[in-house]
Amino acid sequence: MGDPDYETLIQAVVDAMMVVDHTGGIISVNAAAGRLFRCTESELLGLRVEDLIPPRLRSRHRDLRSQYQAFPTPRQMGRGLETPGYRRDGSEFAAEVSLSPIAGKRMLACIVDITERRRTGEALRKFSRVVEQTASAIVITDLQGLIEYVNPSFEKTTGYSAAEVMGQPPNFLKSGHTSKEEYQLLWQTINKGEVWHGEFHNRRKDGSLFWEKTIISPIRDEEGVITHFAAIKDDITASKRADDSLRRREAQLRLFIEHSPVALAMFDSNMNYLAVSNRWLLDYGLEGKDIVGLNHYEVFPEISDAWKAIHQRCLSGQVERMEEDRFDRVNGMTQWLRWEARPWIDVDGGIGGIVIFTEDISDRIRDRESIAQSEQRFREAFEQAAVGMGHVALDGHWLRVNQKLCDIVGYSREQLTRRTFQSITHPDDLALDLARVQALLDSEIEQYALDKRCIRQDGVAVWIRLTVSLARKIDGQANYFIAVVEDIDDRKRAENALRRLRGEFEQVMALQVATQTAAAIAHDLNQPLNAVASYTAAALRLLHADNPKAELMRHALESAAKQTQRAGDVMRELMQFLYKGAPQIEAFDINAVVEEAIASVQARNEPGIKFNTLLEPGLKPALASRMQVERVLVNLLSNSVEAMQGAGVDLKAITIGVSTTSLRSMAVVTVQDSGPGLNAAIAREAFEPFFTTKDNGLGMGLAVSRALIAANGGQLWHEDAGQAGATFRFTLPLAS
């Protein structure tokens, strides 16, 4: 139990009091302490004083208590430190603690809840900062009007420092432009406890004038008694000047509106025209009409209720706009408008009406619709194209593909747009494709086309014809590639098959050439061999005669030797042809070869065929295989003979001509007969392999002849000479 005298003293104090022993144990408390800590007095007894301190501060509190016990004097505890109290319900409060030592190493603690005081102090500090930092000038005077306080904004506005104006009435600001009656009304108003609003035209310390909007309010104490006056002053010089210039600007504004390059109209609150631009009149077909003062809805009776509602919302303060709006006129026209409507503020700060800006975008809408139609047609053409089409990003990813392309490469759209063109290109064809792509990007070419293979999703290679161009942005930078893909897999297979057939045909052709050449050579070989046999037989007869004539025998043997030499030349030519496979090019007299070919054909055929020659004298030697050229001539002459005999022509004649081209670099040989000739259908196919009009013909003669002339640097063709018979010509190079 505590000392009865202390108990009586503690209980008599209105603040929370408690007695703490030297160990920190609470041994006595008053009722106020229980109320402060929100528990009963008995609950506090037996607790340690640290139990009433927030846990985070208890260690520090024990140190402070130990320090105090070492030097116990009446004082506040924790000055400059946080000393919150800790209630039994866990809540905290701001506390002010005073300590006094008492007998028995005890101390008396007085605890005051200062939460409200701190809150009030903080509010006062905030208010003080607001007053100090506000842009408005603030002046506080006593009841006699003597200045007790001015804030920094007052000093900035007037040029007077606070020290200069303290204790002075504010009449040093007067400029003489405010009447005495106005000042009297001011004092009457504030002395009655009312707020005064007004304006002063005052003078600064430097003598310059300024306009000031002022609010003066009485300040009352707790009992409602007026103790001071507070004035809040705002410099409105700029706004006053603005008001002065406003009237001048109104005329300028009207002129500006009238000549504005946009459609602009200004209305009052009843939607009557106040000003309108010439462009407004032009856009709405009102040129030459004065509509200022007229009502908007009278000028445009077709205005809908929806637009009228928009105007009302703008008159209430809203801003409305529309990027595209349809306006159907009473004359049947339709205009598309982009517009904005907003309120305008009058000098009193109220809404005086609205301003409407419009732009006729009818042409833009029509262009957009045209573009949309074009895009639709493009999409349809893109999707329905007979070839594959796609857009490819610069890194190779497919951006957009049509179904035909998907069908060609065997991927769905979703699968293909997740891949690159590189990933579906055959590895052997990729390098060439990438090189062409780089050339496109470097502007070396405008487009390229190539045949390449793609790997389908199923792994099968398919041949495509790829055409690529580069789409560029407006600034010329590369944007994406446009790829057109044609499936040529069937064509490639056909080309490969044709190539094989061509190889087989060339083999057949070579065999036929060899056969015909061998047959012709065999014929030529037969002549000298027959001659050898005849000369040898004559020599033998002379040898066995009773009186052999040496001169005749020598002639027969020399002739046989000469024919033997000729046969050897024919054999050597045949062997060279068979083993080397290429003609032996030599310089020879083409006129002489013509005569020899005629003689060879005459020897094979019955008499009655007339051979005419038109040979050009002094011709340069031809450069070709003499044997092969003779074979061609023999074939052409034989064909003419057979044609005339088969047709039963009475007058069988063949004309062989030799001439030169204009540059005299080629010889031109012409073979013309008097037979039935070739009709157009036969002439078109005459040189095709295996085409023949003969019952037992192989159809290779003309094809082989053309091949032989081509191999010797010339050309062979049929010519429609416009007369009876067939005409064939071929050329051969001449020696330079």
Residues 81 and 33: beta-carbon distance below 8 Å: no
How far apart (Å, rounded) are the C-alpha atoms in residues 194 and 220? 11
Q: Sorting pLDDT into bands at 50, 70 and 90, what band is 80?
A: very low
How far apart (Å, rounded) are the C-alpha atoms in residues 253 and 727? 97
CATH architecture label of 134-235: 2-Layer Sandwich (3.30)
44-48, 237-241, 408-412: segment of lowest average pLDDT: 237-241
Residue of 13, 9, 3, 46 lying closest to 27 (CA atoms): 46
Task: Give the residue-averaged pLDDT of 445-470.
Answer: 91
Segments making up each domain of the chain, as ranges: 4-119, 134-235, 242-365, 385-487, 488-565, 582-733
pLDDT at 510 over 80: no
276-280, 289-293, 666-670, 677-681: segment of lowest average pLDDT: 677-681
30-47 b/e with 16+ CB inside 10 Å = b? Answer: bebbbebbebebeebeeb
Task: Give the residue-averaged pLDDT of 119-139.
Answer: 77
Tokens 């080629």, residue located: 666
How far apart (Å, rounded) are the C-alpha atoms in residues 724 and 676? 7
pLDDT at 549 over 70: yes
Beta strands in 473-606 (DSSP E): 478-487, 586-588
Over the stretch 11-23, which tens digit does the pLDDT of each residue have?
878 889 999 998 8
Residues 455 and 378: beta-carbon distance below 8 Å: no
Task: Give the residue-averaged pLDDT of 39-55.
Answer: 90
Task: Give the residue-averaged pLDDT of 259-288.
Answer: 88
Q: CB under 8 Å to 5, separation ≥6 — which residues?
A: none
Over the stretch 340-397, which tens digit does the pLDDT of each residue have?
999 999 878 899 999 999 988 888 888 777 766 766 776 766 777 778 888 999 999 9
Q: What are the structure tokens assigned to 198, written together?
A: 């007004």
8-22, 513-527, 682-696: segment of lowest average pLDDT: 513-527
Residue of 492, 469, 473, 493 lying closest to 481 (CA atoms): 469
- Report phi then psi at 602, rounded to 5: -65, -40
- Report phi then psi at 334, rounded to 5: -125, 125
pLDDT on residue 89: 86
C-alpha torsion sign, points 557, 562, 564, 565: positive
Q: Who wins on pLDDT, 634 or 701?
A: 634
How many angstroms separate the Cα of 448 from the Cα of each of 1, 388, 393, 397, 433?
Answer: 111, 16, 17, 19, 9
As a whole-number percent, the residues of the chain with pLDDT over 70 amount to 86
Residue of 733, 712, 586, 585 lying closest to 663 (CA atoms): 733
Collapsing DSSP to helix, strand or coil, 676 comes out as: coil
Q: CB under 8 Å to 290, separation ≥6 — which residues?
A: none
The topology (CATH level 3) of 385-487 is Beta-Lactamase (3.30.450)
Residue of 377, 403, 380 lying closest to 390 (CA atoms): 403
How many angstroms from the chain centroid is the CA of residue 357? 34
Task: Give the residue-averaged pLDDT of 409-430.
Answer: 91
Over the stretch 248-269, which tens digit does the pLDDT of each residue have?
766 666 776 777 778 889 999 9
Residues 724 and 677: beta-carbon distance below 8 Å: yes
pTM (2 d.p.): 0.31
CATH number 3.40.50.300 given to 4-119: no
Q: Sorting pLDDT into bands at 50, 70 and 90, what band is 315?
A: very high
Whether 385-487 and 242-365 are alike in CATH topology: the answer is yes
Q: What is the 3-state secondary structure (H, E, C) of 120-149?
A: HHHHHHHHHHHHHHCCCEEEEECCCCCEEE
Residue of 410, 413, 414 lying closest to 424 (CA atoms): 410
Collapsing DSSP to helix, strand or coil, 6 comes out as: helix
Query: What's the CATH number of domain 242-365, 3.30.450.20, 3.40.50.1820, 1.20.1250.20, 3.90.1150.10?
Result: 3.30.450.20
Q: Sorting pLDDT into bands at 50, 70 and 90, what band is 528?
A: low
Over the stretch 153-194, which tens digit does the pLDDT of each residue have?
888 999 999 889 998 998 888 888 888 888 899 899 999 989
Q: Sorting pLDDT into bands at 50, 70 and 90, what band is 240?
A: confident
How far apart (Å, rounded) are the C-alpha atoms in residues 516 and 602? 19
CATH architecture label of 582-733: 2-Layer Sandwich (3.30)
Q: Sorting pLDDT into bands at 50, 70 and 90, what band is 64?
A: confident
Label the pairing between strands 727-733 and 716-718.
antiparallel
pLDDT at 317 over 50: yes
Q: Who wins on pLDDT, 300 or 249?
A: 300
Task: Give the residue-averaged pLDDT of 654-681.
Answer: 88
pLDDT on residue 698: 46
